[in-house]
Structure 1
């Protein structure tokens, strides 16, 4: 069966590279499903999970916190600000980040950067959702 090589890269280095049957992710323009032979494409990604269908019909999940997706017919590269494979996520750390962000948003402190706190909460929730699947 046809596969495509998926590579997830962050400023800290490569997070994942493997062959998959399909990739599903959420770009700023909506949900994307990528199969081998897909037309070339570049799209900005949102904070969300990337689902990767393996040849054994299993699924790998990667928590991606923004970045870009580059699609070529036989390879997909995700350049992300940060990304974690589900098994590598420190759930306790993500819970603490979620609590901190929620407390900042609830504080009503005028010195709190609300947008930054909302992004931190979204990243923490994404990591927790991926880790729990």
Structure 2
């Protein structure tokens, strides 16, 4: 089965660079499955886990917090605002952030705080989902 190189890069560092048989990401228009030789494209990503499928190996999950994905024939590059591998996630901190975001959402102050709290909740839930499956 053919593969492609998946790179996940943040402004600070390269988080991931390995061959994959398939990846599943959440774009702003919905979920996308990318296979080798996919048509080239660029799309914005939601705050969500990226699932990496490798032949004969357990699926890997990487928490990706927004950004863009560029698909080329033999390579996929995800330029993320931030990204974390499961072992890098502090679950206690993520649970605390989730609680704070839920409190801010319940308070329903102004629209800006509501949107920031909503994004913070999405990041916390992604971290919990990825980090909890270690």
TM-score (norm 1): 0.93
The total of aligned residue pairs comes to 133
Q: SS of the residue aligned with 2:123?
A: helix
- Per-residue deviation at 1:119? 0.6
**For residue 15 of structure 1, what is the aligned residue in structure 2?**
15
CA-based RMSD of the aligned residues comes to 1.5
Whole-angstrom CA distance in 1 between matches of 2:130 and 2:89: 8
- Per-residue deviation at 1:110? 4.8
**For residue 25 of structure 2, what is the aligned residue in structure 1?**
25
TM-score (norm 2): 0.93
Whole-angstrom CA distance in 2 between matches of 1:45 and 1:34: 13
Whole-angstrom CA distance in 1 between matches of 2:74 and 2:131: 28
Whole-angstrom CA distance in 1 between matches of 2:108 and 2:22: 43
Any stretches of 5+ residues in structure 1 without a counterpart? none
**For residue 101 of structure 1, what is the aligned residue in structure 2?**
101
Whole-angstrom CA distance in 2 between matches of 1:43 and 1:112: 25
1:45-96 per-residue CA deviation (whole Å, 9 max, x = no partner) reads: 0111100012323211111111000000110000000111122111111111
- Per-residue deviation at 1:20? 0.8
Whole-angstrom CA distance in 2 between matches of 1:131 and 1:46: 18
Decide which moves more: 121-130 or 111-120: 111-120
Q: SS of the residue aligned with 1:36?
A: coil
